[in-house]
């Protein structure tokens, strides 16, 4: 009835490898097809081959997606910020809000002439 761990690994490992290969192939093909459909007609950029598209996909992953999960997730950052904000005194909160207003809109503290 039940398979041992070793037998499960023998069954799952090839399926996982095949899944990774399929996912990589599909990703490269999708990037290639989208690039070749949109960019050469619009901007005259060169047509990409599969390996170029796969390299572009990897480059974008490195530059914009990172190489793995590191850093905090948004919900964790929000929770941590909320905890810090709640621990502030009313004066500190007002100071923080005013500083953020100035940082986001440098002219926010100035009175505007009529």
What does the pLDDT look like over 80-112, one tens digit per residue?
888 998 999 999 999 988 888 888 876 655 555
pLDDT of residue 76: 84
* Three-class secondary structure assignment of 44-75: CCCCCCHHHHHHHHHHHHHHHHCCCCCCCCHH
Determine how many CB atoms are found less than 10 A away from the CB of residue 57: 17
What does the pLDDT look like over 15-27, one tens digit per residue?
999 999 999 999 9
Q: Give me the residue spans of the domains in the chain.
A: 1-70, 71-107
């Amino acid at each position: 009835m039940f398979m041992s761990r070793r037998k499960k690994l023998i069954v799952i490992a090839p399926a996982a490898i095949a899944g990774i290969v399929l996912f990589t192939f599909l990703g490269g093909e999708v990037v290639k097809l989208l690039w070749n459909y949109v960019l050469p007609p619009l901007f005259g950029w060169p047509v990409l081959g599969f390996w170029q598209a796969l390299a572009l996909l990897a480059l974008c992953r490195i530059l914009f997606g990172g190489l793995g999960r590191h850093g905090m997730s948004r919900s964790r950052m929000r929770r941590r910020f909320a905890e810090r904000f709640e621990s502030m005194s009313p004066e500190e909160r007002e100071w923080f809000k005013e500083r953020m207003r100035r940082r986001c809109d440098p002219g926010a503290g100035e009175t505007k002439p009529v």
